[in-house]
């Protein structure tokens, strides 16, 4: 019984709040609706704020407060985690107010909306690439901004995600015994992320994949493919002569030499 009473109280409470908001929305006093929109925004009731801001925008356009209210309108979507609509509004703000003192902040938040939508590494990374692009544009446009450090960190995080995605793809090829595709993918990882802490590991995996490709090839193709292993090993030594993975690479080179010597 108590639960029913509590439920009824909640329902009537919500109904009362809805009724109150509808009265505000229908009110003809623009100043009052602006005031209530800002109150809802401050109380983090962003859905209500969005409706009121959208309602009053046509009436405040061209006035001194239009710019400030537009930023709050856009931010209400951002804080509500509706990043797609927030991005559109941030973009429009910059077009409307290119010389605004708020432009730097808005451009940064716009770039951040892409980062917020960036999916797991296994999924399509269009928004991750878009994050890198827009963050770099922000850095180029505002090189002295205090947000540059955070923007750079976001770019680094995005590149790590792209690196992880590429690694997962290469590993999948390897697990499926598609060794040539794996070798090419690992090689691209080593080339595309030269500053990665794992670049020597990627190169070693390239050598290993080419070795497995050679071992599993038809006999008439093996000599040529083992020679490719030697080429990749030599590249490993040139680039990572002090790598702790060098002994493992040398073992593969020795196996390759044994095969080539037996073929002479």
Tens digit of pLDDT for each residue in 142-181?
999 999 999 999 999 999 999 999 999 999 999 999 999 9
Q: What phi, psi does 193 have (nearest 5°)? A: -125, 65
Determine, yes or no, domain membership for 127. Answer: no
Final residue in a domain of this structure, among 37, 60, 80 = 80
Does residue 88 lie within any of the structural domains? no
Distances (CA, A) of 31 to 36, 53, 102, 137: 9, 11, 23, 38
Is 96 a domain residue? no
C-alpha to C-alpha distance for 161 and 169, rounded to whole angstroms: 12
Q: Which range of residues forms the domain containing residue 182?
A: 177-264
8 pLDDT more than 50: no
Angle between the N-to-C axes of helices 219-239 and 199-215, in degrees from 0 to 180, rounded to the nearest 10:
170
- List of residues 6+ apart from 163 with CB closer than 8 A: 189, 192, 193, 196, 198
Domains identified in the chain, total number: 2
CA angle 153, 131, 121 (to 5 degrees): 85
Looking at residue 17, its pLDDT comes to: 55
Quick check: is 74 in a domain? yes
- 136 lies in a domain? no
Question: Quick one: pLDDT band at residue 6, thresholds 50, 70, 90?
Answer: very low
- The answer to the question of residue 206 being in a domain is yes
CA–CA gap between residue 67 and residue 72 (Å, rounded): 9
Q: Which residue, 80, 96, 121, sits at the end of a domain? A: 80
**76 vs 2: CA distance, rounded Å:** 37
Tokens for 218, please give them. Answer: 């038809």
Question: At which of 40, 63, 80 does a domain end?
Answer: 80
* Mean of pLDDT values over 240-244: 95
Q: Compute the distance between CA of residue 68 and CA of residue 92 in angstroms, rounded to an integer.
A: 14
Give pLDDT, residue 251: 96
C-alpha 250/C-alpha 253 separation (Å) is: 5
């Amino acid at each position: 019984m108590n639960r029913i009473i509590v439920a009824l109280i909640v329902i009537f409470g919500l109904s009362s709040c809805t009724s109150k908001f509808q009265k505000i929305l229908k009110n003809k006093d623009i100043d009052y609706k602006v005031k209530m929109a800002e109150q809802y925004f401050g109380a983090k009731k962003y859905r209500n704020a969005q409706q009121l801001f959208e309602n009053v925008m046509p009436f405040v356009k061209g006035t001194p407060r239009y710019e400030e209210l537009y930023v709050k309108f856009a931010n209400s979507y951002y804080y509500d985690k509706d990043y797609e609509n927030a991005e559109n509004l941030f973009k429009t703000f910059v077009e409307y107010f290119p010389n605004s003192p708020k432009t730097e902040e808005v451009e940064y938040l716009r770039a951040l909306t892409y980062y917020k939508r960036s999916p797991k590494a296994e999924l399509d990374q269009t928004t991750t690439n878009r994050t890198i692009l827009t963050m770099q544009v922000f850095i180029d446009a505002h090189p002295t901004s205090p947000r540059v450090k955070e923007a750079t960190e976001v770019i680094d995080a995005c590149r790590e995600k792209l690196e992880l995605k590429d690694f997962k793809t290469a590993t999948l090829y390897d697990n499926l015994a598609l060794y040539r595709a794996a070798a090419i993918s690992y090689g691209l990882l080593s080339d595309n992320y030269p500053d990665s802490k794992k670049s020597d590991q990627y190169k070693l995996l390239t050598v290993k994949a080419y070795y497995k490709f050679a071992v599993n090839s038809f006999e008439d193709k093996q000599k040529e493919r083992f020679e490719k292993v030697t080429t990749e090993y030599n590249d490993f030594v040139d680039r990572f002569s002090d790598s702790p993975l060098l002994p493992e690479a040398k073992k593969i080179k020795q196996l390759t030499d044994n095969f080539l010597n037996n073929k002479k």
